Amino acid sequence: MVKHWSKVEYLHESVKNPNIIIKGTKSYYSNAYTPDFENYVVRYLYGDEYSRSHFKPLWEYDKLYIGNYVCIGAETIILMGGNNTHRMDWFASYPFMETIKEAYIDKGDTIIGDGVWIGMRAMIMPGVHIGEGAVIAANSVVTKDVEPYTIVGGNPAQVIKKRFDDKTIAELSALKIYDRSEAEIDKLIPYLCSNDLNALKQQLK
């Protein structure tokens, strides 16, 4: 099949790793320039298909949770378990196999909320939580949590601005739009593709 930017990989159709949990059917990866999402974007050193079938687990595998309506740009990297074995509090940061279990620092699960847009070539570090509706600028390195409806960019990623004022963000988050069925959300498209919060709230009533 010819790859092209107009064709995307829907994650619920392709992901097989039990440690990657996909919500809904709308989240996609722009895979025109790379292999598939699971083998290119998600970088498990321990927890990928090969390590799960060839090695005894040294620790509990961290999980990647991806919400619905998430857009992941081409060449994004999401670092997962095993990439965090370089101890800064030891004299040697080298991951000697003799002490690899002790070198591992659990960062927790990585969570990408509903409606997030991740720009091309962004890198998400282990254990980061990205809130609903957040935007990650292209080429950013995200080292800490991102609040809902916030735009971040740079290396390390810093807040550029919030998409809406705090009151609007709080109200949007409280509506829990993405917990509704996809059929319900389809009916809301004209109201979601606008910035009239009152109209959206009226429709939800």
What contacts 136, CB < 8 A, 6 or more positions away?
Answer: 116, 117, 118, 119, 122, 124, 130, 142, 146, 152, 153, 157
Q: How many residues does the chain have?
A: 205
Q: What angle do CA 150, 113, 41 make, to 5 degrees?
A: 100
**Which position among 4, 12, 54, 86 bears the catalytic label?**
86
DSSP symbol at 156? T
Q: Cα dist. 161→89, 109, 152, 164 in Å?
A: 34, 26, 7, 9
| Beta bridge partner(s), residue 152 | 136, 159
- 12 catalytically annotated: no
- List residues with catalytic annotation: 86
